[in-house]
Structure 1
């Protein structure tokens, strides 16, 4: 991918009343914008923002050494805005002062990369659970229907599992990247002729101005349950952060989960001029002008079937996805697909048949529920559940289809919301036969202190049901040794992640590999059956 011309920054800065001197000599240079000095390469422009934890000015010197041709530094006073100084480094580099750079970085990057997102349909998805699955379901549905129509328009993904087209994702550091990295992705997608971008939008990104709500043509809300209170402070603040994704204008279409309590509160004061789609399982949504409703739901060993009722009509659908969570995620993806394709053509009732065919082809979501099973051994489910609500739903789904006993191996993250720790333990006590508490990214906190917080929620548990094994790999192997063929072992919290954070170190740890290697040791390789979730008999749930 070729880089944009650095002289683009001249016009971008003009939007913020900064006139750049010709002596900067940017016309012969190409480069990207970065606000992470570690990513700066020769010819790039470094944006030194004042973050909540660190000040980017600390890294100006390292950015210059890496080859930055210009520094844009956030200043504290408005009267410093636009001032130009030069670094004392032997490679003298201009440093431009920019007042409130962090808040303006999204628009600055947008202008620098020549508004690539305006050439694509932008889909934003927020919520506590369901963002990753819904994003990938949207990509599959849109790409499948476009392919069937011989248009071959692709949908790219940005989120927890990475960025790129479905099944070809490159890793990202954050669910929602920084404003500069985000626009690099948009720029790349534009060059690849991507038609749609389905993007997870975290509450942190909305609060930190990494993304603007006006970016999105369609905005989706999945649900709200306890998470990130270490950052937001209260559920009210958390909900308000999610609400920032939605703007009352004639461009954006809002798609909301009507079954969620938070949505019911929002609907009481929802602006009349914003186009609204509702999805869910309650017949009341049929009163809305645009709706997607699941009825007559039937779970079976191969997946789920239900009647899809919409304002266009009804159709029977069948999916290999399992669990109630997946129905919610699928309904959201169906609504998005209908919204986006309706922008190209008038949708007729016949369209529902094409939609039904595309739903039947959907693949399971990587990292959101993986199961490994073999003759004579317990079934292991690796799942990303790391909130009380997600853990409870994963356990319920496993329990419904477990012939033996249900084991759960789980922990809570360090340096994060302490209030959810006893709630996680309570969910496990309520639904599992055996609880094994272990490490899950303790970070700089004492693992023992985290466990003690969790134990306050299950003070009266029978001790025979509880084990504490801080070494996660040891906990996994010992539990698999202990479990019988009809049992299920739920490994909750890591999902797709291939690391664990202990202290300030990020250590390699892939839970799926640990389990696979266990099976390889305990039986011949050709007996190992790695099952996708449609084969798992409903013992896992996507989030």
Structure 2
């Protein structure tokens, strides 16, 4: 399968991308690359100047021209050498994405039914959803790429993720690479930043999925209305051929698909013996949730069954723990149904996955002979970095703890400050002991971040709170406090193998430090 058009005439490129090349210019060069970074500019490239949140790309037009680009797209007139095409648009946001998607032939592959794209947006659960849906699609024998917060799995190679949704030109290149490697499906996380900045413009999603909406990223979006509007862009962009799958357990779900042209599938958890008053198309009835996983009935209503053949159900046993993870399973099942995957493959895929990196991940210290050291207590690493995510994890763990529930967390610097006190409140209500520490402080003073967190505790709750700004020392301390039957949750960083302090990105892995602490406490040499 060939996904890349390696050379395309300027006139054809802008026409296929839906841009008007009016202006009477005679230059019609061959374009061999799309760039929005002047450092990547060169002969044959089309440079798109975009006003970003930090830098205005128009400042680098001259640098791009000196590098020999063949075309420039910008928002204000600029003098270009003879033979260089130039297109002036009112706004260039999203243009690089549209051009790159056209350049790589992604629209052609989708129109021919050879490449299918699923995007999920929401505050929490996106990474877990992607791994679950990938497992389902692979159970149905479809080669599947995955792009998200943890990694970019392009089928032929896997790259450590630098951000949830890659920059537009990079994103289109990755999708084309995956298609070239034989992927027929791609599952990706679509962040609110990416939607607001137009990074996914030019992509036609076959399925758009909404997980949930809770307070986060308000440093960028300012308020929840703007945050919701950014997420809603995914569903506003779906056409009549697509499907929107929305979580009806979240009040924002129905707002996401207001005026949506796509078919809508509603999913949610239906408590036993409770009537369905939300018009659920796909739902789960919980049977059991234990430390080893969850058991539930997956039900497809007659509405989603071919020819309205009546309700179908099957029992699903998954290693994913907690009500919130059953919702993630439902989201993946809904997307799979929209793609025409059979119920048996859905159940097999959900059962096959053993876990997601940094999501309710158990730290298992191993002795030199490879056997697991039984410490008597349990240590888990989770990416929960919002109050809603932390609450979900703590609620899932509470009935599983034979002893106390201990939680360690911090909050990222240069990010949404409004959630700091909320996370404190959730931690105090859900855990028996709270260790407040640093996350990725970035340019902020860790002590100031901790001060903001502490405002969320009441005076009576402060008796269960301990403070240690150094995350390594804090992990050692909280594990040192664990007793038999206790569960220790290290929250906030999950799969991340670094800590950002100032401008430095330093090696740091919660799971590795936990093993180090457990080895020291138990007087043995362990590995993970």
Superposition TM-score tier, normalisation by shorter sequence:
0.7 to 0.9
| Cα distance between partner residues in 2 of 1:56 and 1:315 | 53
- The corresponding residue for 2:405 is 406
- The corresponding residue for 2:218 is 229
| 1:446-493 per-position Cα deviation (integer Å, ceiling 9, x unaligned) | 222211111111141454422221111111112222322332221111
Match of 1:16 among 16, 20, 38: 20
TM-score by length of 2: 0.85
| Cα distance between partner residues in 2 of 1:270 and 1:23 | 39
Contact 1:213–1:245, Cα closer than 8 Å, also in 2: no
1:142 and 2:142 aligned: no
Match of 1:254 among 244, 252, 255: 244
TM-score by length of 1: 0.83
- The corresponding residue for 1:243 is 232
| 1:155-187 per-position Cα deviation (integer Å, ceiling 9, x unaligned) | 111111122257963123221122211110121
Q: CA offset at residue 360 of structure 1?
A: 2.0
Q: CA offset at residue 426 of structure 1?
A: 0.5
| 1:342-381 per-position Cα deviation (integer Å, ceiling 9, x unaligned) | 6xxxxxxxx4334333332223112222111432363221
How does 1:41-56 map onto structure 2 within 5 Å? 44-56=45-57
Describe the shift of the 1:47–1:37 C-alpha distance in structure 2 as closer, same or farther (beyond 3 A): same
| Cα distance between partner residues in 2 of 1:64 and 1:375 | 64
Q: Secondary structure at the match of 2:349?
A: helix
- The corresponding residue for 2:309 is none
| 1:9-35 per-position Cα deviation (integer Å, ceiling 9, x unaligned) | 4521354306775585x47xx4x4232
Describe the shift of the 1:73–1:250 C-alpha distance in structure 2 as closer, same or farther (beyond 3 A): closer
Q: CA offset at residue 509 of structure 1?
A: 1.6
Describe the shift of the 1:60–1:266 C-alpha distance in structure 2 as closer, same or farther (beyond 3 A): closer
- The corresponding residue for 1:445 is 444
Contact 2:123–2:211, Cα closer than 8 Å, also in 1: yes
| Cα distance between partner residues in 2 of 1:365 and 1:385 | 13
1:365 and 2:356 aligned: yes
| Cα distance between partner residues in 2 of 1:510 and 1:323 | 24
Describe the shift of the 1:9–1:472 C-alpha distance in structure 2 as closer, same or farther (beyond 3 A): farther
1:185 and 2:149 aligned: no
| Cα distance between partner residues in 2 of 1:106 and 1:495 | 30
How does 1:29-428 map onto structure 2 within 5 Å? 30=32, 32-37=33-38, 44-60=45-61, 69-70=69-70, 72-76=72-76, 80=77, 84-86=79-81, 94=84, 96=86, 98-99=88-89, 100-115=91-106, 118=110, 119-146=114-141, 153-165=142-154, 169-212=158-201, 215-247=204-236, 249-265=239-255, 269=258, 274-282=262-270, 288=279, 291-311=281-301, 312=305, 313-341=312-340, 351-373=342-364, 374-376=373-375, 378-428=377-427
Q: Secondary structure at the match of 2:395?
A: helix
Answer with 107-116 or 182-191: which moved more: 107-116
- The corresponding residue for 1:540 is none
Describe the shift of the 1:475–1:59 C-alpha distance in structure 2 as closer, same or farther (beyond 3 A): farther
1:473 and 2:472 aligned: yes
Q: Secondary structure at the match of 1:484?
A: coil
Q: Secondary structure at the match of 1:245?
A: helix
Q: CA offset at residue 427 of structure 1?
A: 0.7
| Cα distance between partner residues in 1 of 2:43 and 2:472 | 42
| Cα distance between partner residues in 1 of 2:403 and 2:517 | 20
Q: CA offset at residue 3 of structure 1?
A: 7.1
Contact 1:285–1:291, Cα closer than 8 Å, also in 2: no
Describe the shift of the 1:213–1:45 C-alpha distance in structure 2 as closer, same or farther (beyond 3 A): closer
Describe the shift of the 1:23–1:423 C-alpha distance in structure 2 as closer, same or farther (beyond 3 A): closer
- The corresponding residue for 1:499 is 498
| Cα distance between partner residues in 1 of 2:3 and 2:344 | 42
Answer with 183-192 or 294-303: which moved more: 294-303
Q: Secondary structure at the match of 2:249?
A: coil
Q: CA offset at residue 220 of structure 1?
A: 0.6
| Cα distance between partner residues in 2 of 1:197 and 1:465 | 45
| Cα distance between partner residues in 1 of 2:195 and 2:265 | 22
| Cα distance between partner residues in 2 of 1:60 and 1:516 | 51
Contact 1:139–1:166, Cα closer than 8 Å, also in 2: no
| Cα distance between partner residues in 2 of 1:284 and 1:54 | 53
Structure 2: runs of 5+ lacking an equivalent:
306-311, 365-372
Describe the shift of the 1:295–1:93 C-alpha distance in structure 2 as closer, same or farther (beyond 3 A): same
Q: CA offset at residue 207 of structure 1?
A: 1.0
Query: What is the total number of aligned residue pairs between the two structures?
Result: 497
Q: CA offset at residue 84 of structure 1?
A: 4.9
Contact 1:33–1:45, Cα closer than 8 Å, also in 2: yes
Q: Secondary structure at the match of 1:215?
A: coil
Describe the shift of the 1:510–1:93 C-alpha distance in structure 2 as closer, same or farther (beyond 3 A): farther
| Cα distance between partner residues in 2 of 1:174 and 1:216 | 20
Q: Secondary structure at the match of 1:244?
A: helix
- The corresponding residue for 2:369 is none
Q: CA offset at residue 197 of structure 1?
A: 1.0
Structure 1: runs of 5+ lacking an equivalent:
87-91, 147-152, 343-350, 531-543
Q: CA offset at residue 226 of structure 1?
A: 0.9
Q: CA offset at residue 388 of structure 1?
A: 0.5
